[in-house]
Structure 1
Amino acid sequence: MYASVMDNIFLLVLVTLLSVVQNVFFALKVEKECTGHQSKRSAAFERLSCAKRNCMDTYPTFLAVLWCAGICLSQAPAAFAGILYLVVRQKYFVGYLGETCQSTPGFLFGKRILFFLSLMCVVGIINHLMLTYGGSDYKEYIQTITKAASTLLLLP
């Protein structure tokens, strides 16, 4: 039983661990900037701190929809979207180091990925309810559509 459970969540676990490593990277960047300018807070420190805070504000939502989408519907597209979200979040954070307007594309793309994961959650829950109360299971069809739709996330 343990092996089958791990097969169903292994990719989600990897994405979650990568997100933790990314959060540590963000924290270290802020700490490095903070210790470099102890006498006064620089504009770079303020931007870094704001970017980290913004990333941390959306982090619980990201984890919730990642795991819900992966468990309720399909692990592979959810993990793919999760990896894309981490790349976009990195772009957002690095963009914030320059000017605030450089982070806007990363922010908008991240919102689109979170919407996709949320939609996967809702569809997975509806399919489960249909199976439980109506006897109809469309999970295979929905998974096929989801796998094809997840590649559309790569479009700008």
Structure 2
Amino acid sequence: MYNIVVENIYLLVVITLISVLQNAFFALKVEKECNGLQKNPAAFERVSCANRNCMDSYPTFLAVMWCAGLCLSQAPAAFAGIIYLVVRQKYFVGYMGQTCQSTPGYQFGKRILFFLFLMCIVGIFNYLLVRFFSSDYKEYVETITSAASALLLIP
């Protein structure tokens, strides 16, 4: 029983742990700029704001990634999660330069969150179809979702 549960969530766990490491990296950047606050207060303000923005969207990301992985399919949800972490890194680094450099990362991140949200809705809808109408379309939806997750790479 334990192995079946772990097989269904291990990719989501790995992505979550990577995101925790990324959050630690962001916190270290803020701390580093805080120590040099007297030298460049504008840099501290940018890094601090980028960190706050990333932390504001973090619970939403975790919620939709886990829901999508549990309700529908683990692999596409984990793939979207790793792409989201790359985009979030791009956003953070872009924000440290000039705020206009972070806009593409922000918009791409919104698109990934929307994809994960749609996965959640489709998974819940499929569950309701199975529960009330005995119609299971999970295999078809998983195939479509796996193919559609590759489309996330298109800018």
Q: TM-score, normalised by structure 2?
A: 0.98
Q: Does 1:127 align with 2:126?
A: yes
Aligned residue number for residue 54 of structure 2: 55
Q: Distance in 2 between matches of 1:68 and 1:90?
A: 23
Aligned residue number for residue 32 of structure 2: 32
Aligned residue number for residue 118 of structure 1: 117
Q: Distance in 2 between matches of 1:93 and 1:36?
A: 19
- Secondary structure at 2:136's aligned position in 1? coil
Describe how 1:6-155 pairs up with structure 2 within 5 A. 6-37=6-37, 39=38, 42-155=41-154
Structure 1 runs of 4+ aligned residues shifted over 4 Å read none
Q: Distance in 2 between matches of 1:60 and 1:41?
A: 31
- Residue type of the partner of 2:25? F
Alpha carbons 1:12, 1:79 under 8 Å: kept: yes
RMSD: 0.9
- Residue type of the partner of 2:83? L
Size of the aligned set, in residue pairs, is: 155
Q: How far apart are 1:111 and its partner, in Å?
A: 0.2
Q: How far apart are 1:40 and its partner, in Å?
A: 7.1
Q: Distance in 2 between matches of 1:134 and 1:17?
A: 38
Q: Distance in 2 between matches of 1:83 and 1:48?
A: 22
For structure 2, which runs of at least 5 residues remain unmatched after alignment? none
- Secondary structure at 1:60's aligned position in 2? helix
Fraction of identical pairs, as percent: 74
For structure 1, which runs of at least 5 residues remain unmatched after alignment? none
